[in-house]
Amino acid sequence: MSNIKNINNKILNCYKCKIAPNRGVGFGNIKSNIMFIAQNPGWQPEIKSKDIIPFALNTEKGKASGYWFRKLLNKCKLTNDDFYITNVIKCPTNKNRCPKEKEVENCFEHLQREIKLQVPKLIVLLGNSAKELFENKKNEISKNIKIIYIYHPGFIRYNPHLFKRWAGNFKKQFKEFNNERN
């Protein structure tokens, strides 16, 4: 049986794409019921180590996607123990460009392993890259998981006037998910 350390080790030692020297692994509680899936680890050229900071941790006010993601989590009273966040691809792309089809294919096995290990009850797709992946691979992932789509926090970063509507929509969908489970 696979565990998160084995999955992360495979991610950190994968060189199929050679996009970047760094890899990003998931963050949060792999035993939780909620999985967030974003596009890729954020491009952070100033970081020279092998460690990529998940955008969920980068909370510099107004300047990072993590700031808006944390505001969303706080609005729904979610803590790090309540979710696991990962990415469609595990390498940052230059200037956060959308992943290429081959890059998505190369990383898909890692994402499948994470989903299989976690067995989430809810997957929240953050942005178009995650949404497109699930539209193309839905049958290969799971039919028993509730899936919802919301804008990526990076979109809200550039459109902060949409935060209330974005957070309100997510909070409503999250509440419906909780009501369905009870």
Give the residue numbers spanning the domain of 123: 4-181
What dihedral do alpha carbons 36, 59, 110, 92 form, nearest 10°?
130
| C-alpha triplet 124, 127, 133: angle, nearest 5° | 80
Coil, strand or helix: which one is 172? helix
- Contact by Cβ (8 Å): 84, 27: yes
pLDDT along the chain (182 residues), means of 10: 85 83 85 93 57 62 81 92 93 83 90 93 93 80 84 91 96 91 74
Residue 112 is predicted with a pLDDT of 92
Report which residue type is found at 94: N
What is the residue-wise DSSP string for 69-109? Answer: HHHHHHHTT--GGGEEEEESSSSPPGGGPPPPHHHHHHHHH
Report CA 126 to chain centroid distance, whole Å.
6
- Contact by Cβ (8 Å): 167, 151: no
Report which residue type is found at 106: N
Compute the half-sphere exposure of residue 119: CA atoms within 13 Å on the CB side of its CA. 4
Domain count, the chain: 1
Residue in the block written with tokens 């009273």: 77
Cα(85)–Cα(83) distance, rounded to whole angstroms?
7
Q: Could you tell me the CATH number of the domain that includes residue 161?
A: 3.40.470.10
